[in-house]
Amino acid sequence: MKTLSVYASDQINLQQDSKNTLDLIDFYNEATEDYAFWSKDFNMHFGYFHGGRTSIFKRDSMLNEMNRQVLLRLGLQKKKGTLIDLGCGMGGTMRYVLGQNSKLSAFGVTLSEFQQLEGNKLLKGLKGSILKENFNRTSFASNSFDGALAIESFCHCGHGKNAFEEAYRILKPGGRLVVADAFLKKEPDEFCFGSRLSYRKLCDHWSLEQLGTIQRVTEQLKEIGFTDVSVEDISFRVAPSVLHVPFAISGFILKKLLGNGTLKKESLHNLKGSFYALLSGLHMKSFGYYMITCKK
């Protein structure tokens, strides 16, 4: 039986989790439309530079190249199957994938009602649908999907084990999970002052609980039962798109000020978070951007 002090501690943790979730929902309900300035396709992530296919001056080409690289690692670029995007945003990656392979169907989950409603409008005519659900505990039956992806979404639960366990549950045997995200290379208490400051500000402004360390997450995946776990450090591939951040911020602020003259608090948080993402990326001994591929 739990002691009173342990029970009280659990209640505080539950309340904190609820507050974090509500903050996250509010953030994306209000700030998602701002991403149109970052990507005409509403790709709410950083890009992947590929010398033969992209230009460092064309952000959208790099953002869609990230989608292509994820699809390649899923092994579904020519196959029939069903895909799940865990934390899909406005469905930018889903639309890219469905446009590349008409044999696929796709589902996405998001906590944001705005993303669900507007994203489904953009998916009209495609074999895709966005549901308002938590990727830690979806309503899908076990063994439902041929592939699962999470681009810069599992960071919102601190790369916690629950998200990976749920992905494992809903994947079919042999199905693959691909995660593209920023991770820590060491524990925060080992950071220098600059890394610690950037990390704290990044989490505050992007509604992140924390980031997982790449070593611990890799170990978790194997404990859950995933096999063929491949970890690629793609930091230098992602860096050219990250360098677009100061120009995008400047252009966005100028557009807003010349328009209605106001910036929503969520927009300000988003802009500040983007700035601290850039600063964090400069601390390469503490942070890295990785592509993880594994199989059930």
Predicted local confidence at residue 261, as pLDDT:
65
Start-to-end CA distance of the chain, whole Å, equals 36
Contact criterion met (CB below 8 Å) for 182 and 152: yes
Q: Which residues pair with 85 in a beta bridge?
A: 108, 149
**Per-residue DSSP letter, 213:** B
Contact criterion met (CB below 8 Å) for 69 and 178: no
pTM comes to: 0.89
Structure tokens at 103: 């044999």
Please state the separation of Cα 81 from the chain's center in Å: 22
Instruction: Report how far residue 63's alpha carbon sits from residue 151's, in angstroms, rounded to the nearest whole number.
Output: 11
Instruction: Report how far residue 213's alpha carbon sits from residue 162's, in angstroms, rounded to the nearest whole number.
Output: 16
Predicted local confidence at residue 21, as pLDDT:
72
Structure tokens at 239: 């860096």
Predicted local confidence at residue 269, as pLDDT:
77
Instruction: Report how far residue 76's alpha carbon sits from residue 101's, in angstroms, rounded to the nearest whole number.
Output: 8
Instruction: Report the phi/psi class of residue 213: left, alpha or beta, with left for phi > 0 and alpha for psi in -120 to 50.
Output: beta
Nearest CA among 50, 46, 47, 106 for reference residue 76: 106
Point out the residues of the chain with pLDDT beneath 50: 1-17, 19
Residue 219: how many other CB atoms lie within 10 Å: 12
Nearest CA among 123, 134, 152 for reference residue 46: 152
Q: Which residues contact 211 (CB under 8 A, 6 or more apart)?
A: 155, 158, 159, 182, 183, 184, 199, 203, 287
Instruction: Report how far residue 84's alpha carbon sits from residue 111's, in angstroms, rounded to the nearest whole number.
Output: 15
Instruction: Report how far residue 22's alpha carbon sits from residue 166's, in angstroms, rounded to the nearest whole number.
Output: 21
Sheet hosting strand 171-184, strand order edge to edge: 128-132, 104-110, 81-86, 145-151, 171-184, 287-295, 227-233
**What are the Cα distances from residue 89, in Å, to 24, 151, 159, 185?**
12, 10, 17, 26
Task: Tell me the pLDDT tens digit for each residue of 66-86.
Answer: 999 999 999 999 999 999 999
**Per-residue DSSP letter, 110:** E
**What are the Cα distances from residue 139, in Å, to 22, 112, 130, 134, 170?**
20, 16, 13, 9, 9
Instruction: Report the phi/psi class of residue 219: left, alpha or beta, with left for phi > 0 and alpha for psi in -120 to 50.
Output: alpha
Residue 149 three-state SS = strand
Predicted local confidence at residue 3, as pLDDT:
31
